[in-house]
Amino acid sequence: MELIQSFSVDHMRIVPGIFTSRTDHLGDYTVTTYDIRLKRPNREPVIDAAAMHSLEHIIATCLRNDPDWKDEVIYWGPMGCLTGFYLILKGSRAPQELYELILKVFKAVEDVQEVPGTAPQNCGCFRMHNLEMAKWYAAEFAAYLEANAGNSDIFEYPRTERLITEDGRNFYDS
């Protein structure tokens, strides 16, 4: 099987940030998946599952209610590795163009008094939420984004280097 695009990112070198994961052209439409990475994979603890779930609910609600962006948002959801989120938007923008939006929604978490959509009728695991930890992770990420706004590493994926055999096949050493 061919290695999918997201596995070509060097997960030992990626830093928290806002990255273009993939761009898909679907007929007349372009859809872009962004990697909103809060943690360094394999080097720091992942986000607590209950806090991740709360961040998913809060930020999805903020994005889908933002007057300038709500019509562009297709999806906001957690990565299985619990190091970040995927944001899928209509169109294609450079990650730097999302900086203010991402900073704004993560800062907005601080003012949330109750996680939206946590009734049993609205959520498949309504007991698994942690608002206080969600606030902590959101504040940590917002501070990181502000401190690194001028650092291009928070917008550009580090790619893995793969040896190519003489007959054009990828060589994997593991």
User: Are 57 and 78 spatial neighbours (Cβ–Cβ below 8 Å)?
Assistant: no
pLDDT, tens digit (0-9, with 9 covering 90-100), for 41-62: 999 999 999 999 999 999 999 9
CA dihedral 132, 38, 41, 93 (to 10 degrees): 150
Higher pLDDT, 137 or 171: 137
pLDDT, tens digit (0-9, with 9 covering 90-100), for 145-166: 999 999 999 999 886 665 566 7
How many Cβ atoms are within 10 Å of 34's Cβ, its own excluded? Answer: 22
What is residue 10's predicted lDDT score, i.e. its pLDDT?
81
pTM: 0.89
Rounded CA separation 86/76 (Å): 6
Locate 47 and state its tokens: 């986000």
What is residue 2's predicted lDDT score, i.e. its pLDDT?
72
Give buried/exposed letters for 36-66 (b at 16+ CB in 10 A, else e).
Answer: bbbbebeeeeebbebbbbbbbbbbbbbbeeb
Starting at the edge strand found earlier in the chain, the sheet holding 29-37 runs 17-26, 29-37, 84-90, 73-78
What is residue 1's predicted lDDT score, i.e. its pLDDT?
74
